[in-house]
Amino acid sequence: MGARQTIGRKLYAGFLIAIFCTVAVMVIVSDILGGLLARDALGAAGVRVVGGFLAIIVGLVVATVIARKLTLTVRSLADATSIMSQGDLTRNVQVKTSDDELGELAQAFNRMVANLRQIVVEAKAASEQVTTAALALSASAEQMNSSTGEIAGTVEQIAKGAEHQAGLVEQVTKLMREMATGINEIAARARSAAEAATEAGHTAQTGGKSAREAMAKMKEVFGIIEASAHGVRGFSEKIHQIGTIVDVITKIAQQTHLLALNAAIEAARAGDAGGAFSVVAEEVRKLANEAGASAEKIADIIKEIRAENAKVVEAMTVATREVSAGREALTFTGQALEDIVRVVLEEVKKVQEISGLTQQQTQGAETLVKTMDEIAKVAEDNAASSEEASAATTQQTASMDHMAESAQQLSTMADKLKTLVARFRVEAAAGHR
């Protein structure tokens, strides 16, 4: 209130001064000069006019000077304000008079500029900070993103590995199941093989018994054949003896025949006296012939008997051979059967062992299968957890992206702010337009 009045008073004073000056001048000029110069009324009027002009001019000058003082301040204010409007906050207004409104205004302006500067500086600083922070945030967001990416990758690997593991475990489980089935089958077959082997052993034992019985029978037969052969040999000998005797008889018959012929020859030589003798000789010859014929018949019969005998002997030899071979075969068979029984018993034992072992193996396989199932479950859980982790990581990545976006936004805003406050200069430097 006081300042306004000061300006007003100044203005009023100035105005008065101006008017005074004008009047003074006018008076001076008109009166003084007039007095000096004014010879006539026209000259006086002219002097009055000139004096008026001078007075106006002086008055204008004084007014201008006074006004200038005023307007200078206002001008500088206006300039400063204009400069400030350009954004330069480094200028202060020079205050000539600090007690009037303009001075107050200038002070106030300076204060305002200072305040603004302060604000802008702080704003700049803040925006810098914000920008830095935004950048840091962005960078750290990126880092986190990349870390999260790594984590996601690792988690994915884990998930894949877990899946792979689950698949392998499934395969192994399948194989284990198959193996268990196979072992079961082996055990069943081993059991049936043991049964079959036992049966075979029994059969072999029965066969062995039969073989022994057959052997005994064969021994009997052998004995019988031996006895027959013996008898046949005796028979043969007797036949041989008969043959010899028959040979003798035949020879005798032949010789008798010759003797009879010789007798006939001698009888013929004796002529008629030997007629009866030749008859006798003839009879003797006939007898010899008959004897010879009978002997031949006997010889034939003997031959037939011999042939038959030979057949019988051959048959018996063959039979003996066969029986011998049969005996050998039987012995062999008996031996073989005993071997079979022995081997079978061993095999039965072995098979029973195998059966027991396969039972164990079956149990072991079942345990394995159970363990495999547990492992599979664990692997599945693993895989599920990995999936969750992966999902969480994805979420985190999304959040990271979001954050990065926000950081980006923040950065953008900080930039904007920076741009905004960059319009204001706060450091004293060369003139800035």
Partner 1 sequence: MLEVTGLPAPLGAAPPVPAAAPRRKVLVFRAAGEWFAVALARVREVCPRAPVTRVPRAPAQVLGVMNLRGRVVTLVDLARCLDLPADGGAGAHVVLLDLGDPDLAVGLVADRIDQVVDLYPDAAAGALPPAAADGGGTPGAWGKHDPQVVEIGGRAVPLLDPVQVLAQALPGVEREQTGDSP
- Residue ranges in contact with partner 1 by CB under 8 A: 254-255, 257-258, 261-262, 264-266, 268-269, 276, 278-279, 281-283, 285-287
What is the three-class DSSP state of 98?
Answer: coil
Q: Which is nearer to partner 1, 285 or 425 (CB)?
A: 285
For residue 274, give both structure tokens: 């030997």
Minimum CB separation from partner 1 for residue 288, in Å? Answer: 10
Q: Which is nearer to partner 1, 265 or 315 (CB)?
A: 265
Determine which helix (DSSP H) or strand (DSSP E) holds 204, and give its type and residue range. helix 101-269
Q: Which is nearer to partner 1, 151 or 249 (CB)?
A: 249
Minimum CB separation from partner 1 for residue 227, in Å? Answer: 43
Q: Which is nearer to partner 1, 275 or 356 (CB)?
A: 275
Q: Which is nearer to partner 1, 236 or 289 (CB)?
A: 289
Determine which helix (DSSP H) or strand (DSSP E) holds 420, and give its type and residue range. helix 275-422
Name which of 387, 418, 312, 414 is nearest 157 in CA terms.
387
Single-letter amino acid code for the residue at 98: S
Q: Which is nearer to partner 1, 201 or 274 (CB)?
A: 274
Cα–Cα distances (Å) from 167 to 156, 180, 388, in that order, read 16, 20, 19
Cα–Cα distances (Å) from 192 to 20, 186, 365, 369, in that order, read 151, 10, 22, 26
Q: Enumerate residues 6+ apart whose C-beta is below 8 A from 30.
A: 47, 48, 51, 52
Name which of 376, 388, 404, 340 is nearest 147 in CA terms.
404
Pairwise CA distance, residues 64 & 57, whole Å? 10
Minimum CB separation from partner 1 for residue 221, in Å? Answer: 48
Pairwise CA distance, residues 339 & 201, whole Å? 10
Rg (CA), the chain: 81
Pairwise CA distance, residues 144 & 137, whole Å? 10
φ/ψ of residue 88, rounded to 5: -85, 115
For residue 286, give both structure tokens: 């006939």
For residue 71, give both structure tokens: 């307007």
Minimum CB separation from partner 1 for residue 292, in Å? Answer: 9
Minimum CB separation from partner 1 for residue 303, in Å? Answer: 17
Minimum CB separation from partner 1 for residue 242, in Å? Answer: 23
Question: What residues does 88 pair with on adjacent strands?
Answer: 425
Minimum CB separation from partner 1 for residue 273, in Å? Answer: 15
C-alpha 90 chain-centroid distance:
72
Minimum CB separation from partner 1 for residue 230, in Å? Answer: 39
Minimum CB separation from partner 1 for residue 243, in Å? Answer: 20
Q: Which is nearer to partner 1, 289 or 399 (CB)?
A: 289
Q: Which is nearer to partner 1, 84 or 263 (CB)?
A: 263
C-alpha 367 chain-centroid distance:
25
- Helices 2-27/41-86 angle, 10° precision: 150
Q: Which is nearer to partner 1, 150 or 290 (CB)?
A: 290
Q: Which is nearer to partner 1, 42 or 258 (CB)?
A: 258
Q: Which is nearer to partner 1, 198 or 254 (CB)?
A: 254
DSSP string, 38-51: --SHHHHHHHHHHH
C-alpha 413 chain-centroid distance:
50
Minimum CB separation from partner 1 for residue 290, in Å? Answer: 9
Minimum CB separation from partner 1 for residue 333, in Å? Answer: 59
